[in-house]
Amino acid sequence: MARFSNMALDAARKNHAKKVSAVTIRVGQMTGLVPEYLQHYYPQTVAGTMLEGSRLVIEERPVLVRCACGNVYTPARDNGYACPKCGGASGKLISGREMDLVSVEIEE
């Protein structure tokens, strides 16, 4: 959480903001970060900064793997996280680990 608020504060400072109205972040489902918790702890994390009172918007990203066969899928425990098309297990993770700041909305 502190990581996101620091990124948002940096961005706000670079834009010479005085107050921020909304912060949008992107969080992959593999990060273990739970959006509800982030929402819950956000107000106290940003209290006393120029982010205080801003809205936190969370874009959740699903876990996606691209297989060598070209298939993109969400790994499932049922089949050992293998590719449902070819059975391959050497896919590359292309989504799900995101912890990014997407945008900071500045109050005029």
Query: Which parts of this chain interact with Zn ion (CB under 5 A)?
Result: 67, 69, 71, 83, 85-86, 88
Torsion of CA 90, 27, 38, 15, to 10 degrees: 150
Here the tokens at position 53 are: 């009172």
| Least Cβ distance, residue 63 to Zn ion (angstroms) | 16
| Least Cβ distance, residue 40 to Zn ion (angstroms) | 39
**49: DSSP letter:** S
For residues 67 and 64, give the distance between their C-alpha atoms in angstroms, rounded to a whole number. 10
For residues 2 and 100, give the distance between their C-alpha atoms in angstroms, rounded to a whole number. 12
Cβ closest to Zn ion, residue 25 vs residue 83: 83
Cβ closest to Zn ion, residue 9 vs residue 83: 83
Cβ closest to Zn ion, residue 53 vs residue 87: 87
Here the tokens at position 86 are: 């070819």
| Least Cβ distance, residue 87 to Zn ion (angstroms) | 7
| Least Cβ distance, residue 86 to Zn ion (angstroms) | 3
